[in-house]
Structure formats: C-alpha cells, structure tokens
Amino acid sequence: MHAAETTKFIRKPTNLSLDSALLKEAKVLGINVSRSAEAGIAEAVKLYKQESWQKDNANALVSSNAYVEANGLPLAKHRQF
C-alpha cells in the first residue's frame, strides 16, 4: 500500500475556468465536477512524472537494453518459464 493511500487528503477550495457548456452538461448528468477535475489533474501529474522519469533515466535504459541485447538476460539459465 502506498503512503498516499493511507493519508487523509485535505481538500482546498479552488477557482477553475471551465467550458460553460461542458460544465452544464456535467451537472445535468450528475457528474461530480470537483472529483472529476481532481481525477484528471491526478492523471496529468502521473503522466508528467512518468515522462520525466523516462527522460531522466533514458541513458540508463539504453545502456541496460544494450547489455541485454549483447549478453542476454542475467540469470536467464535459471528461469523456469
């Protein structure tokens, strides 16, 4: 379990500018706009962190892949599948 899952989040009121037609449709459909916005922002943060990690570690990934390509997987002879 991640630490974020065990921590109670404190919500902060925030002003957002949203497409008025989209907001109206969401309300008609009974969509919780605050939770939906939060979920969208959380996904955007997650994707940004993933892309940043991949960029920061690109050289190590290339090096590791080159090693496996040249030498095979370490301990491959012990694999049972």
Nearest C-alpha neighbor of 22 from the set 10, 6, 7, 33:
33
For residue 8, what are the CA distances in angstroms to 5, 13, 57? Answer: 8, 16, 32
Q: For residue range 3-59, list pLDDT tens digits in order.
A: 556 667 899 999 999 999 999 999 999 999 999 999 999 999 999 999 999 999 999
Global model pTM greater than 0.85: no
Amino acid identity, position 81? F
* Cα distance between residue 78 and residue 41, in whole Å: 43
